[in-house]
A and B are shown apart, each in its own frame.
Chain A
Amino acid sequence: MPTSDDPFLKPIESKQILAVEGRDEKNFFDVLLEDMNIKDCETREVGGKDQFPKKFPLLLKARGFFSANDTPLVTHVGIIRDKDVMKKSDAFASIVDIVRRVGLEPPTAHSQFSNGTPKVGIFIMPGDSIEGEKLEDLCLKTVENHEAMPCVNEFAACISALENSPKDIPKAKVQVFKAQVFLAAQHEIVNSVGLGAKKRYWDFNSSAFGELKSFLNNLK
């Protein structure tokens, strides 16, 4: 695999790639992959879920994805995005479309990898087994029995119920708010789930991570 001396430009050097939304997701998955002892995989952030159509084709152009004889050096590409307000099937279909447009073979189902070259897998957060729309839902699920969680839930409910709330918390952002409050309650405060992962504030041994870990195991 090629290497670069430029500290700001990184060629693809691993056989497995995990494409994620943003910097926070990258931080989170770097820790999770390390925790799962998956070493030959690098995460690449595309800069937000709306950027997948523009950035995924560019990822394939980065030095190190293909060799000069047009054969892929990368064997597996995992793609992870939040479901958000979309239906899960629509979020999945949007990525399938992008994968197909760049000439790769997409998987036929969520959380699976295709048989193409490279093999492509798609995972829509927080997965089939967890209710919600985002990575935060999954993270909070792993600490649902943490003794701080009743306080977190109560605080969120209390703030939402205020007549003149200092913060408007839309329904879609309640889990993000709770995750922030949970992180604020830790010994050393961090302000994002990815940094929370670095501090091991989320329980990586939780069964809530089962489906996601099963998907990521394809990148071993």
Chain B
Amino acid sequence: MFESIKIHNLRAITQLELDNLGQVNLLVGQNNCGKTTILEALFFLVGATNPDLPNTVNRLRGLPFLSKEIIATLWHNKEVIEPIQISGVTRKNLEHRNLSIFPLYLEKQETQKVSSDFVAIENNTADHKTRLEPDGLKFEYMTSQAPHETITSTFLLKEKEVEIKNPNKPVSRGFFISPSTPFENMKDRFGVAQRKKQITQLISFLQQVDANISDLRLNEIGLVEADIGLPNLLFVNLMGGGIVRSMVIALSMLDARNDVVLIDEIENGLHYSAQKVIWRAIFRWAEQFNIQVFATTHSVEAARTFALSAEDVLFKAEAMIYRIERKDEKYRVVSYAKEELAEALKSGWEFR
């Protein structure tokens, strides 16, 4: 669980720091202020040793494949000059975790006679500063608990090279729930819940969104079907975005333990009554399973139900809301504790 996070040079963000993070955190702010990038930064940091991360992150942005041009979009203004740096301090032990992302280039070696040979080189010299489109990425991850043990992984477009040193370093898991990929891993996640005997709990949760759901099953082709009292089971995918969204959030929260769950545009597809159900469940599960949650929203309803639900379920830990403000290259973060948010809402003072 993070106490603070710093982001440098990632996508839209030049430099941004979030302090005094709560256990459940809601990010608000105008379009293109960097909310989703903050979720991505956290996702990178908690999954720093996962070489598939660049693929996953871009897919969650709706970018179906990686290309040199797409890799460059990880850098601010696509200016691949300085490394991307993401660091966080954990609450427990105040451990510092640092991830640096460097560009890698496939360069034809002039000195070699064999023209098909390529080597990966790092962009660490001045004459590479004008390069815009790297061929790959190198991740360097270290923690203050083991400052001399750098975990390195590389990702190259030519062939996926995975080289991880000191792979035993434990890194917590991140669950990223994106509005553009609602069905991603549904089969796997449902399978996990089935193995953990959590389907009854899942049904009970979903019944608060749709009272007709009495059973859920994974069919032979990997789709989840629901019994809603009709003669035949119904694909959950056909039951509307709200049910799918609720299920994906629930499956992630039920699978996570001491992990981080990231939910982009939490209100997406949800009626306000369902938002209340989801927030209450998030607060309960966050407390029960020691999960740190980060969500983004533009919705007043989502923020209102966030504040009310934390109170309703007597959530003891901190629930924080952060407004991200951006003007050109400058960023400002304004934080509200849940009690302050409730006051701002009561007064009608714009917090988003």
The answer to whether A and B belong to the same complex is yes
Instruction: State the A residues within 8 Å of B (CB).
Output: 2, 4, 6, 8-12, 44-47, 54-55, 58-59, 61-64, 66-70
Interface residues of B in 294-352 (CB under 8 A from A): 300, 323, 325-328, 330-332, 334, 336, 340, 343-352
Q: What 18 new A-B contacts, CB under 8 Å, besides A10-B350, A54-B343, A67-B327?
A: A2-B30, A2-B350, A6-B300, A6-B350, A9-B345, A9-B348, A9-B352, A44-B347, A47-B346, A58-B340, A58-B344, A61-B323, A63-B352, A67-B332, A68-B325, A68-B331, A68-B332, A69-B332
**Which A residues touch B347, using CB under 8 A?**
44-47, 55, 58
Across the interface, A44 reaches (CB within 8 A) one of B323, B332, B349, B351, namely B349
| Chain A: minimal CB distance from B38 (Å) | 15
Q: What residue in chain A is nearest B339 (Cβ atoms)?
A: A54
**Which B residues touch A58, using CB under 8 A?**
336, 340, 343-344, 347, 349
Given A68-B325, A68-B327, A69-B332, A62 and B350 touching (CB < 8 A)? yes
Q: How far is the CA of A148 from the CA of B348 in the complex (A)?
A: 39
Does B349 contact A9, Cβ atoms closer than 8 Å? yes
Q: What residue in chain A is nearest B344 (Cβ atoms)?
A: A58
| Chain A: minimal CB distance from B76 (Å) | 16
Q: How far is the CA of A10 from the CA of B347 in the complex (A)?
A: 9
Does A55 contact B343, Cβ atoms closer than 8 Å? yes
Does B344 contact A62, Cβ atoms closer than 8 Å? yes
Does B332 contact A66, Cβ atoms closer than 8 Å? yes
Instruction: Please give me the 5 A-B residue pairs with the lowest Cβ-Cβ distance, nearest first.
Output: A68-B327, A11-B350, A68-B325, A62-B349, A69-B330
**Which B residues touch A67, using CB under 8 A?**
325, 327, 332
Q: How far is the CA of A70 from the CA of B331 in the complex (A)?
A: 9
- Grouping DSSP codes into helix (H, G, I), strand (E, B) and loop, the B interface class, with mixed when no group exceeds half, is mixed
Across the interface, A69 reaches (CB within 8 A) one of B327, B344, B346, B352, namely B327
**What's the A-B contact tally at a CB cutoff of 8 Å?**
70
Q: How far is the CA of A61 from the CA of B343 in the complex (A)?
A: 12
**Which A residues touch B344, using CB under 8 A?**
58, 61-62
12 example contacts (A-B, Cβ-Cβ < 8 A) are as follows A6-B300, A8-B348, A9-B345, A45-B347, A54-B343, A58-B347, A61-B344, A62-B351, A63-B323, A68-B328, A68-B331, A70-B330
Across the interface, A10 reaches (CB within 8 A) one of B325, B326, B331, B348, namely B348
Instruction: State the B residues within 8 Å of A (CB).
Output: 30, 300, 323, 325-328, 330-332, 334, 336, 340, 343-352
Q: How far is the CA of A20 from the CA of B250 in the complex (A)?
A: 45
| Chain A: minimal CB distance from B185 (Å) | 35
Does A70 contact B332, Cβ atoms closer than 8 Å? yes
Does B330 contact A63, Cβ atoms closer than 8 Å? no
Does B351 contact A9, Cβ atoms closer than 8 Å? yes
Given A9-B300, A54-B343, A59 and B349 touching (CB < 8 A)? yes
Does A68 contact B349, Cβ atoms closer than 8 Å? no
**Which B residues touch A11, using CB under 8 A?**
350
**Which A residues touch B300, using CB under 8 A?**
6, 8-9
**Which B residues touch A69, using CB under 8 A?**
327, 330, 332
**Which B residues touch A55, using CB under 8 A?**
343, 347
Q: How far is the CA of A83 from the CA of B249 in the complex (A)?
A: 52
Q: What residue in chain B is nearest A7 (Cβ atoms)?
A: B348
Across the interface, B351 reaches (CB within 8 A) one of A46, A47, A63, namely A63
Given A54-B343, A55-B343, A61 and B351 touching (CB < 8 A)? yes
**Which A residues touch B340, using CB under 8 A?**
58, 61
Q: How far is the CA of A54 from the CA of B336 in the complex (A)?
A: 12
Does A9 contact B332, Cβ atoms closer than 8 Å? no
Does B327 contact A9, Cβ atoms closer than 8 Å? no
**Which A residues touch B346, using CB under 8 A?**
47
| Chain B: minimal CB distance from A40 (Å) | 18
Q: What residue in chain A is nearest B325 (Cβ atoms)?
A: A68
Which among A55, A64, A66 has the highest number of chain B CB atoms within 10 Å?
A55
Q: What residue in chain B is nearest A8 (Cβ atoms)?
A: B348
Does A9 contact B331, Cβ atoms closer than 8 Å? no
**Which B residues touch A47, using CB under 8 A?**
346-347
Across the interface, B336 reaches (CB within 8 A) one of A10, A46, A61, A64, namely A61
| Chain B: minimal CB distance from A17 (Å) | 11
**Which A residues touch B351, using CB under 8 A?**
9, 61-63
Q: How far is the CA of A13 from the CA of B290 in the complex (A)?
A: 41
**Which A residues touch B336, using CB under 8 A?**
58, 61
Q: What residue in chain B is nearest A46 (Cβ atoms)?
A: B347
| Chain A: minimal CB distance from B162 (Å) | 39
| Chain A: minimal CB distance from B117 (Å) | 49
Does A68 contact B326, Cβ atoms closer than 8 Å? yes
Q: How far is the CA of A12 from the CA of B351 in the complex (A)?
A: 10
| Chain A: minimal CB distance from B346 (Å) | 8
Q: What residue in chain A is nearest B343 (Cβ atoms)?
A: A58
| Chain B: minimal CB distance from A42 (Å) | 11
| Chain B: minimal CB distance from A214 (Å) | 29
